[in-house]
Amino acid sequence: MTEAVASRQPELINLLDLDREGLERFFAETLGEKRFRAHQLMKWMYHQHVTDFSQMTDVGKALRAKLEQHCEIRPPQVLFDKGSTDGTHKWLLGMDPSNAIEAVFIPDKGRGTLCVSSQVGCGLNCQFCSTATQGFNRNLSTAEIIGQVWTASKHLGNKTHHQRKLTNVVMMGMGEPLLNFDNVVRAMSLMRDDNGFGLANKRVTLSTAGLVPMIDKLSEVSDVSLAVSLHAPNDELRTELVPLNKKYPIAELMDACVRYALRKPRTSITFEYTMMKGVNDKPEHARALAKLMHKMDQQVQRQDSAKVNLIPFNPFTGTRFERSEEADIRTFQKILLDQKVLTMVRRTRGDDIDAACGQLKGQVLDRTRRQSEFKRKLEAQGVSDAAA
Ligand code: SF4
């Protein structure tokens, strides 16, 4: 054995990887400390954004020494951050030497929403999504997910129990959160924990492309709000836009949504619908969508158990889709509203820093072959790789 190997330190545990229960267990079983000490530490980590144990003034010297020996508090590395003229802020966060993801903060009247990523890249290949063109590398750890909230919260000077700038978190960034179930659930519990970021259940939203069995599993362990990327009201079109639909068609997906809504009587489910010119923005699509929403309301026996969020498509280099005309979006919305379906149009934000919905890219070392295929397609269209 070489000297270097013999003297290697055991790997430090990143405390951002543990939720309250995990941290309590770690304190009791590994450090031989009282469980409540874990809460003290959480407040330093999440309320004060302190990562250096020596600054935790109410933690005794002996415990600090143990913490330094066994653990670290290591948020993701900020590689780059940029603010938009409209108040939107984007971070490029290094997750390892080869991969980086993006998180975006969007302030709006009385609320501030952080859009968080759950994977490096995404393997689901939704046709209108910029992340999909990059392929997939790996799941993010709990620390890497909650670390995005930590970074934004620190930057914004967020103070728990004060007027907070960061009021909502949406798991709508890069990746399909339900394919990284355990880490996402743990991170979401830290978002809602009073010793963590203290957000109410309804202010944490998980968005899925429609993994039916995992929606059921989520309803058993968490009370967060659910958003479903629908994007089409019939199977033929949805399978084209969201290939996962082939496995879990709309009827099965809507049944899972009904079950989720029945288990969470106070929450409504948001259906996201990205509006693409001439693809899914015709009046007949709006009427079919209204029917789906009505059926869900009837099954849940509650009006507005389903609401629709129309998202004007945000173009990216190499995409074959275009944003729907403003007039078509308004007509689409009116058809739904006239049929008493609660429908909002999401305002496009952060356009000038490529932070709009569906535009998050980061930096993904693709382990599939999708990125190279996409680059080949771009070259065939005469678009250079650098532009992508
Ligand atoms: S829309 Fe979401 S699920 Fe679909 S490819 Fe993009 S990141 Fe993945």
| Domain region containing 53 | 12-72
Domain identity same for 196 and 302: yes
User: In this structure, what CATH number is given to the domain that contains residue 27?
Assistant: 1.10.150.530
Domain identity same for 215 and 308: yes
Among 119, 170, 176, say which to mutate for ligand 1: greatest number of ligand atoms within 8 Å of CB: 176
User: In this structure, what CATH number is given to the domain that contains residue 107?
Assistant: 3.20.20.70
Token pair 């993994």 is found at 211
Establish whether residue 131 lines the binding site of ligand 1, counting it when its CB lies within 6 angstroms of any ligand atom. Answer: yes
DSSP summary character for residue 10: P
Domain identity same for 42 and 153: no
Q: Measure the CA–CA gap between 130 and 119, rounded to whole angstroms.
A: 14
pLDDT reported for residue 303: 84
Residue 249 lies in a domain: yes
262 is in an annotated binding site: no
Among 117, 131, 360, say which to mutate for ligand 1: greatest number of ligand atoms within 8 Å of CB: 131
Instruction: Tell me the CA–centroid distance for residue 208 and ligand 1, in Å.
Output: 8
Burial class of residue 202, CB neighbours in 10 A (0-12, 13-18, 19+) = middle
What value does the mean pLDDT take over residues 310-318? Answer: 91
Condensed to tens digits (0 to 9), the pLDDT of residues 134-143 reads 889 899 999 9
122 is in an annotated binding site: yes
pLDDT at residue 324 is higher than 70: yes
Residue 388 lies in a domain: no
Condensed to tens digits (0 to 9), the pLDDT of residues 197-254 reads 999 989 999 999 999 999 999 999 999 999 999 999 999 999 999 999 999 999 999 9
Residue 386 lies in a domain: no
Per DSSP, what are the bridge partners of residue 308? 271, 343
Instruction: Tell me the CA–centroid distance for residue 37 and ligand 1, in Å.
Output: 39
Specify the 3-state DSSP secondary structure of 7: coil
The tokens of 178 are what? 């339900």
Domain identity same for 58 and 93: no
Instruction: Name the pLDDT band for 371 (thresholds 50, 70, 90).
Output: low
Instruction: Tell me the CA–centroid distance for residue 39 and ligand 1, in Å.
Output: 35
Listed residues 27, 45, 72: the one ending a domain: 72
Report angle CA 336, 128, 188 to the nearest 5 degrees: 80
Establish whether residue 362 lines the binding site of ligand 1, counting it when its CB lies within 6 angstroms of any ligand atom. Answer: no
pLDDT reported for residue 285: 98
CA-242 nearest atom, ligand 1 = 4
Specify the 3-state DSSP secondary structure of 334: helix
pLDDT at residue 353 is higher than 70: no
What value does the mean pLDDT take over residues 275-279? Answer: 98
Establish whether residue 171 lines the binding site of ligand 1, counting it when its CB lies within 6 angstroms of any ligand atom. Answer: no
Per DSSP, what are the bridge partners of residue 103? 91
Instruction: Extract the runs of DSSP E, i.e. beta strands, from 73-215.
Output: 77-83, 89-96, 99-108, 111-115, 119-121, 136-139, 168-171, 204-208
CA-129 nearest atom, ligand 1 = 6
Radius of gyration of the chain (CA): 22
Residue 1 lies in a domain: no
pLDDT reported for residue 134: 86
pLDDT reported for residue 357: 57
Establish whether residue 129 lines the binding site of ligand 1, counting it when its CB lies within 6 angstroms of any ligand atom. Answer: yes
Residue 4 lies in a domain: no
Instruction: Tell me the CA–centroid distance for residue 90 and ligand 1, in Å.
Output: 19
Report angle CA 74, 75, 80 to the nearest 5 degrees: 135
207 is in an annotated binding site: yes
| Highest averaged pLDDT of the listed ranges 78-87, 88-97, 149-158, 228-237 | 228-237
Under 8 Å between Cβ of 151 and 91: yes
Under 8 Å between Cβ of 219 and 185: no
The alpha carbon of 252 is separated from its chain's Cα centroid by a whole number of angstroms, namely 23
Residue 323 lies in a domain: yes
The alpha carbon of 325 is separated from its chain's Cα centroid by a whole number of angstroms, namely 28
Instruction: Tell me the CA–centroid distance for residue 82 and ligand 1, in Å.
Output: 23
Domain identity same for 32 and 152: no
Of 66-80, 89-103, 352-366, which range is least confident?
352-366
Condensed to tens digits (0 to 9), the pLDDT of residues 19-78 reads 999 999 999 999 999 999 999 999 999 999 999 999 999 999 999 999 999 999 999 999
Listed residues 72, 91, 108: the one ending a domain: 72
Instruction: Name the pLDDT band for 267 (thresholds 50, 70, 90).
Output: confident
The tokens of 9 are what? 């330190």
Please list the active-site residues.
Answer: 102, 357
pLDDT at residue 384 is higher than 60: no
The number of folded domains in the chain is: 2
pLDDT reported for residue 302: 86
- pLDDT above 70 covers a percentage of the chain that reads 87
Domain identity same for 178 and 64: no
pLDDT reported for residue 358: 60
Condensed to tens digits (0 to 9), the pLDDT of residues 154-174 reads 999 876 655 578 999 999 999
Listed residues 55, 72, 89: the one ending a domain: 72
What length is written for the chain?
388
pLDDT reported for residue 163: 59
Domain identity same for 254 and 144: yes
Instruction: Extract the runs of DSSP E, i.e. beta strands, from the chain.
Output: 13-14, 71-72, 77-83, 89-96, 99-108, 111-115, 119-121, 136-139, 168-171, 204-208, 225-229, 269-275, 306-312, 343-345
Residue 6 lies in a domain: no
Under 8 Å between Cβ of 37 and 63: yes
Residue 312 lies in a domain: yes
